[in-house]
Amino acid sequence: MAGLPFDQLDGEIWYDGEFVPWSEAKLHVLSHGLHYASSVFEGERAYGGRIFKSEEHTARLFESARTLGFDIPWSEAEVNATKDAVLKRMNLVDAYIRPVAWRGSEMMGISAQKNTIHLAIAAWEWPSYFDPEQRLKGIRLDMAPYKRPDPATAPYKAKAAGLYMICTISKHEAERKGYADALMLDWRGRVAEATGANVFFIKDGKIHTPKPDCFLDGITRRTIIDLAKRRGLEVIERVIMPDELDGFEQCFLTGTAAEVTPVSEIGPHNFAVGEITKLLMSDYDAEVRAGTSAELKAAAG
């Protein structure tokens, strides 16, 4: 399936209550979600046949929908069960899962009070988000041209489609320059995040990360903070300014797709892929796979 467009993959997608052939999972060109970004989604990974923190992702999906003013017409329990069913239907063990909910096409305009709310769940094999060889050496980041907006101007706590427009623009520009991604500042000029992942820095054995007061407080971000604290490492959530980057020794990104990815460079600033970063990479891999072998054996038995 390498290189195939996503609308040409094999398999089935769960769409509004039933499984449909992958190529038939379509929506109308006048869907509100396409024109006005009234769409929310999640990115999740399954390891060894188990979706990591499935319930947390589903809870965030529902809260994102409520933030955009609509209710998903299935329960959280039903969505959790359906995600597992999609994995089995697709015969996937290690996979990426994408639930997405959006407003349909009954009304076309800013107001869409009567539009049907749709929900689809797809799953596919997806290896490392970044080039595996580059990831081990530490990826290179550019500085993004766009900034994360003031919370008074956008619902930053929602994982909503429209919030990613500036991320795509910034990542494309970085890739054109030969970088893997870009570091985004917020509207105040403070360090915020990468285009699709949270960022951490290490100095003198302590971990520093920006306060998520205008960008998504990622589920992987919270997992890494917990893992670091279990190791007795100090994690400091604080304001970080760009002129501090030279003083940090290590840097890494976190996200469901990115997992834990070391960073070797942000513009003119260089970082080592150090022991703490490697330790957290290992701890995260163990955490997402905890119990999966036993569960697979039990299912096979």
pLDDT higher than threshold 60 for residue 295? no
Residue 300 is predicted with a pLDDT of 45
Mean pLDDT of all residues in 195-212 = 98
pLDDT higher than threshold 70 for residue 159? yes
Catalytic site residue 159? Answer: yes
Residue 1 is predicted with a pLDDT of 38
Mean pLDDT of all residues in 1-27 = 91
pLDDT higher than threshold 70 for residue 165? yes
Annotated catalytic residue within 53, 83, 137, 159: 159
pLDDT higher than threshold 80 for residue 7? yes
**Span 132-288: which CATH code?**
3.20.10.10
Residue 183 is predicted with a pLDDT of 98
**What's the mean pLDDT when you consider all of the chain?**
94
List the domain boundaries for the chain. 7-124, 132-288
217: closest CA among 149, 163, 164, 159? 159
Q: Render pLDDT for 90-115 as a digit per residue (tens, 0 to 9).
A: 999 999 999 999 999 999 999 999 99
289: closest CA among 228, 232, 223? 223
Residue 155 is predicted with a pLDDT of 95
258: closest CA among 100, 138, 79, 122? 138
User: pLDDT band for position 287 (50/70/90)?
Assistant: very high
Q: Render pLDDT for 168-193 as a digit per residue (tens, 0 to 9).
A: 999 999 999 999 999 999 999 999 99
User: Which residues, at least 6 apart from 295, have a Cβ–Cβ distance to it below 8 Å?
Assistant: 48, 49, 50
Answer whether 27's CB lies under 8 Å from 102's CB: yes
Task: Assess if CATH 3.30.470.10 describes domain 7-124.
Answer: yes
Answer whether 98's CB lies under 8 Å from 13's CB: no
Mean pLDDT of all residues in 235-248 = 98
Single pTM value for the model: 0.92
User: pLDDT band for position 296 (50/70/90)?
Assistant: very low
Answer whether 44's CB lies under 8 Å from 96's CB: yes
pLDDT higher than threshold 80 for residue 128? no
* Angle at the Cα of 140 from the Cα atoms of 210 and 95, rounded to 5 degrees: 80
pLDDT higher than threshold 90 for residue 292? no
User: pLDDT band for position 132 (50/70/90)?
Assistant: low
User: pLDDT band for position 129 (50/70/90)?
Assistant: low
